[in-house]
Structure 1
Amino acid sequence: MTQDFEKLTGYAKQFSGLTPELETLLQQIGGQIKPRLAQVTEDFYGQLATIPQAAAFLEGRIDTLKAAHMRWLESLFSGRYDQAYVEYMYKVGNVHVKVNLPVEFMAGAMTLINNRLIGTLVETYGGDQAHLAKVLEAVSAITGMSLLVMQQSYQEASLAEELEKFLKISGMSRTLFTNLALAYKDK
């Protein structure tokens, strides 16, 4: 199955509430927030290490995972929330699928990340409640968008798995299935 990333980008932005105004705000605060993201990453992986079910996914890879996590966190405040960003997040989701990371780990991890980011944002902008509220909205929108896109990878993988089961049970070839699907696509 081929993902329409342009359509997914629009859908994810709409569903998460990521507006051009919030995108601009994320870019504007990047200079103040990026220096604090290393601590967010350390705290996040420290918390993950206390969850026994997560240990197998971290073992022997913590430094690599932290580096990838930092790049992603920095991208949240860099202002490219376009189709290329969505394709990247979809690929990250695919990696999670390939290592058999349970889908609920992504939602749980995003909650842990948001909790760390919220603390950082309150420390940085707590003196201006109106600005803080907008910043929290922007961060919630971009992390929500990211999660939505990554979870789309799981949905695609599940559909592909179901198709493979159907083809095996029915004895139908993939070519025949594809031709039938194309023949009835517009009906």
Structure 2
Amino acid sequence: MAQATKESFEKAKAFNKFDEIYAPVLPGLKDIVMKHQDAITDAFYGALSNDPIAAKIVAGRVDQLKATHKVWMEELFNGTYGDAYFDRRYKIGETHVKAKIAPYFVEVITSFLRRAFAEILIKEDPAALQAALAILDLDALIIVGAYHEDRMRRMSEVTGMNQKLLETLMSFG
């Protein structure tokens, strides 16, 4: 099911030379970013709690979600971004889809985290900041891909059309 998103992920990594340029930089940033992890996560969930829709989604689960967020952040800086990484990130996307979290939140959350990481890493060097932003972009691509694939699956079920045919028809614009 995740094949189209997986292909996009691999193409995006190749296009940006992610594995050659950014992946080697990310493990060296882990300690720097994780020193600020609590502050970033607190600010992140504070912002979500101030949004009426997001507040309902996170209500009663903030501590659990903060722990999950910490694991997610640590994995951003592990230095390995292959199949296992993709599969974990895609599962996050599927979880968001099942919870009926609007894709809008993936975009605004990624934007929030880009700014938070930039604030920390701007003091390091441009390569550090570029690497952190590159991995956030890849994560957003995967998670949003799960939404796209879910929509295509549902459209296929409703129309009875093969998903490949639907993709082809949509490509004609």
Task: Compute the TM-score of the two structures, normalised by the length of structure 2.
Answer: 0.85
Q: How many residues align?
A: 164
For structure 1, the 5+ residue unaligned runs are 126-131, 171-176, 182-187
Return the letter of the residue paired with 2:98: K
Partner of 1:102: 102
Return the letter of the residue paired with 2:141: L
Partner of 1:141: 134
Indicate the SS of the match to 2:80.
coil
The 10-residue stretch of structure 1 (29-38 or 146-155) with the greater mean CA deviation from structure 2: 29-38
Query: Where in structure 1 do 4 or more consecutive aligned residues deviate above 3 Å?
Result: 4-9, 14-17
2:117 matched to 1:117? yes
Label 1:5 to 1:101 Cα distance change in 2 as closer, same or farther (>3 A): closer
Label 1:54 to 1:15 Cα distance change in 2 as closer, same or farther (>3 A): farther
Partner of 2:57: 57
Structure 1 residue 24: deviation in Å? Answer: 0.8
Label 1:165 to 1:16 Cα distance change in 2 as closer, same or farther (>3 A): farther
Partner of 2:83: 83
Indicate the SS of the match to 2:36.
helix
Label 1:38 to 1:94 Cα distance change in 2 as closer, same or farther (>3 A): same
Q: Quick check: 2:40–2:116 contact (8 Å CA) kept in 1? A: yes
Q: Quick check: 1:34–1:77 contact (8 Å CA) kept in 2? A: no
Structure 1 residue 118: deviation in Å? Answer: 1.3
Partner of 2:152: 159
Structure number with larger C-alpha Rg: 1
Indicate the SS of the match to 1:100.
coil
Q: Name the CA distance, whole Å, in 1 between partners of 2:137 and 2:2.
A: 23
Structure 1 residue 33: deviation in Å? Answer: 2.3
Structure 1 residue 3: deviation in Å? Answer: 2.3
Structure 1 residue 2: deviation in Å? Answer: 5.3
Q: Quick check: 1:15–1:145 contact (8 Å CA) kept in 2? A: no
Partner of 1:21: 21
Q: CA RMSD in A?
A: 2.2
Q: Name the CA distance, whole Å, in 2 between partners of 1:5 and 1:159.
A: 12
Q: Name the CA distance, whole Å, in 2 between partners of 1:64 and 1:117.
A: 22
For structure 2, the 5+ residue unaligned runs are 166-173
Q: Name the CA distance, whole Å, in 1 between partners of 2:2 and 2:41.
A: 33
Q: Quick check: 2:93–2:146 contact (8 Å CA) kept in 1? A: yes
Q: Quick check: 1:12–1:145 contact (8 Å CA) kept in 2? A: yes
Structure 1 residue 45: deviation in Å? Answer: 0.8
Indicate the SS of the match to 2:47.
helix
Partner of 1:48: 48
The 10-residue stretch of structure 1 (97-106 or 47-56) with the greater mean CA deviation from structure 2: 47-56
Percent identity for Structure 1 against Structure 2 = 27
Summarize deviations over 1:140-162 as a string: whole Å, max 9, x none: 10000000011110011000110
Q: Name the CA distance, whole Å, in 1 between partners of 2:120 and 2:35.
A: 11
Return the letter of the residue paired with 2:31: G
